[in-house]
Amino acid sequence: MAMTILVVDDSATMVMSLETTLVMNGFQVETANNGQLALDKLKGGIKPDLILTDINMPVMGGLELIGKVRALPGFRFIPILTLTTESEASKRTEGKRLGATGWLVKPIAGNDLIKVIKQVLPGA
């Protein structure tokens, strides 16, 4: 059965290109346009195998989302990758502290993205 990835980004082009890339590579995809919508989906029963989130988003950003996801029951160990233009070291450090699995800087080649996802998702 295909693994599910929750893509969180406020950019329509990012959501669409990531969804197309991931589906093409055999994953199922759920999407949300900000951290709050992503959190609502998770609380609503969506249980993805991995979360791929932007950092700078309106309403709720990626760092806040990571912290709140880690506090949810059953989401302590789910891999969370950030995919962001944010390259500031302090933000990265904060992401790591909050429980991010990895930090990816946009733009990232499709193959590199799939490689990283397979690295943190054994069996994918």
Partner 1 sequence: MVRSDNGIQNIEDESGLMRETTDSELARVLTGRAEMRRELSDSRSYIDVMHGQIGDSLVESEREVLSAIEQIGHLITNSTQQRKNIALSVQSGKDLTESTRARVESNRKTIVRIEGQLQEQTNEVRSNMTRVQDLAGEVSALKPLIKTITAIAQQTKLLALNARIEAARAGDAGLGFAVVASEVKELASLTDKAAAEISDKIALVCQKVDEELTDARNALNRHESNDAMSDLIGEVGEMQQHFSKNGELLLEVIAGVDTNYSESVNHLSQALGHIQFQDVMRQRMGSVQEALVEMREHLQGLSGKLDDTCWDGQLDTSFKTLLANQIGSYKMASQSATHHGIVGSMADGDHGRPAIELF
Phi, psi of 4 (to 5 degrees): -105, 135
Verify binding: residue 25, partner 1, rule CB under 8 A.
yes
Closest CA to 104 of 120, 118, 87, 121: 87
Fill in the amino acid letter for 8: V
Please tell me whether residue 29 binds partner 1 under the rule CB under 8 A: no
Nearer to partner 1, 40 or 112 (CB): 112
Dihedral sign, Cα of residue 55, residue 83, residue 107, residue 25: negative
Is 24 an interacting residue with respect to partner 1 (CB under 8 A)?
yes
Considering only residues 43 to 82 of the shown chain, the ones binding partner 1 according to CB under 8 A are: 56
Residue 107 preceded by cis peptide, ω within 30: yes
Q: Please, are residues 31 and 10 in contact by the beta-carbon 8 Å criterion?
A: no
Q: Which residues pair with 121 in a beta bridge?
A: none
Shortest distance (Å) from residue 48 CB to partner 1: 18
In terms of CB distance, is 40 or 52 closer to partner 1? Answer: 52
Interacting residue with partner 1 among 52, 57, 116, 117 (CB under 8 A):
116
Residue (1 or 89) nearer to partner 1, CB:
89
d(CA 76, CA 39): 14
Toward partner 1, which CB reaches closer, 42 or 103? 103
Binding residues for partner 1, per CB under 8 A?
9, 11-14, 16-18, 20-21, 23-25, 56, 84-90, 92, 96, 100-114, 116, 119-120
